[in-house]
Amino acid sequence: MTEITISAARSQLGDLVRRAAHSRETIAITDHGHVAALLVSPQVIEDLEDALAVADYQRRKAEGTLGEGGIPHEEVGRMLGLRP
């Protein structure tokens, strides 16, 4: 993860956003030495959401609380790697 101060990020924002979007690099923007915000690719967030949905499904299945609805079609596609 790359760290950059807020003041340095101001002049490089366009480049930083492109780096995060295209290379899936996470960029931490710091304020007084502490991470204040992260620039991440939307794909990274989607991957995390998919992993969370699969983990939640597996937990509900193990607990026996899955219910009648089962798992949504979109979620099955993600689990099988058929959709992003």
Segment-wise mean pLDDT, segments of 10 residues, the chain, 84 residues: 95 95 94 96 90 87 75 77 76
For residues 48 and 40, is the Cβ–Cβ distance under 8 A? no
Residue 70's pLDDT is 67
Question: pTM of the prediction?
Answer: 0.64
Residue 12's pLDDT is 96
Residue 63's pLDDT is 83
| CA nearest neighbour of 50 among 58, 40, 61 | 58
Residue 69's pLDDT is 66
